[in-house]
Chains A and B, each alone.
Chain A
Amino acid sequence: MHLWHPSYKEHPKSRSHWPMTVLQPVSQLKHSFKEGFVLTTHRKALTTGYWILTGLLFVCGLIMLVVAPAQTAFGPAQRIFYIHLPAAICTFLAALVLFVASVGYLWSRSIKWDDLASSAAKVTVLLCTVVLLTGMIWGKSEWGLWWTWSPRLTFSLVLWILYLAYLIIRPMIQSPTRRATICAVYGLAAFIDVPLVYVSVKLMPDIHPSSVELEPTMQLTLLVWFIAIPLLTAGLIAAGSSLNTQQRTLDTLARESNSNTDLANTHTGEPS
């Protein structure tokens, strides 16, 4: 059996037999995908493309919200809902990612799930902040008050506090395994508030509007925002999770390097 790795410059059987010469690019491609070679080589280009696309969608969304007609049933600040609504949905999605990552950690005890959960919690707090702020600004423009203790607003504030508390608790626990376990259990418990926010308008009388009539241009504008904000959310969660993993690996390497230096100094009698 001939072993080949993508880091080799050429396939060992290349140009030796004609069938292999013909099949080489395909077989190389298969090997490359298998080993993640293509992904690592093109990762930078893919990441850059992803962020450029997300940025362009935001620019498109901003242009379209100026062009889109105003909803007559609401005041002039009604257009704020193009960012408010997708951000609210993405808050739930980010909280769902945190929930799934918490289950993943408790199930597998792999610390990578904790990296994902930590990143998702930050994005949940960020998006919930956007939702609360845009809601407050819209409320001030529409109802003349920054805040009212309606069920949906109250549950949304509770959601923000719960996930903010998650982020405050994390650095307080020193042991990584203990931190991951406690935060995973907390992440599962905190998710209970998400369905409460969602159904609060349906079940309880609320000042918050539950549905809005939209014209086709408005629907298209909302669609652009509904693509842009989930893309940004996914990008932020993925980038944060990857960063957490890299930082953890580097910290482990630094600790190992320090302990090795200490050990070497103990043998040579030098002070560390």
Chain B
Amino acid sequence: MNGYLLLGYAVSLALLWGYALLLFRKSRVTRSRRQQTQ
């Protein structure tokens, strides 16, 4: 496969799914904060 193609997909998928994982982690932290508040 072409190197540019691999670079394009690697960067795009890392950005998109990296943000999804960041949101997932933040939601877990928020959930534990909510439980502490309750």
Contact = CB atoms under 8 A, between A and B. Distances in A.
A79 B30 contact: no
Contacts of B27: 239, 242-243, 246
A177 to B, nearest CB: 22
Contact of A77 (B8, B11, B34): B8
Of the four ranges (under 10, 10 to 19, 20 to 34, 35 or more), the interface on chain A belongs to 35 or more
Contacts of B33: 250
Nearest to B7: A137
Interface string A107-124: 000000000000000110
Interface string B4-21: 110111011101110110
Of the four ranges (under 10, 10 to 19, 20 to 34, 35 or more), the interface on chain B belongs to 20 to 34
Given A246-B30, A247-B30, A253-B37, A79 B5 contact: yes
Contact of A138 (B4, B17, B24): B4
Given A232-B20, A236-B19, A243-B23, A134 B12 contact: yes
Interface in A81-113: 83-84, 87
B20 to A, nearest CB: 6
A242 to B, nearest CB: 8
B37 A250 contact: yes
A250 B12 contact: no
A235 interface: yes
A246 B34 contact: yes
A236 B30 CA distance: 16
A75 B2 CA distance: 10
A243 B8 contact: no
Interface of B: 1-2, 4-5, 7-9, 11-13, 15-17, 19-20, 23-24, 26-27, 30, 33-34, 37
Interface of A: 51, 58, 62, 66, 75-77, 79-80, 83-84, 87, 122-123, 126-127, 129-130, 133-134, 137-138, 140-141, 232, 235-236, 239-240, 242-243, 246-247, 250, 253-254, 257
13 contacts: A58-B17, A66-B1, A76-B4, A77-B5, A80-B8, A84-B8, A129-B15, A141-B4, A236-B23, A239-B24, A246-B27, A246-B30, A246-B34
Q: Which 4 A/B pairs are nearest by Cβ-Cβ distance?
A: A141-B4, A76-B2, A77-B4, A137-B8
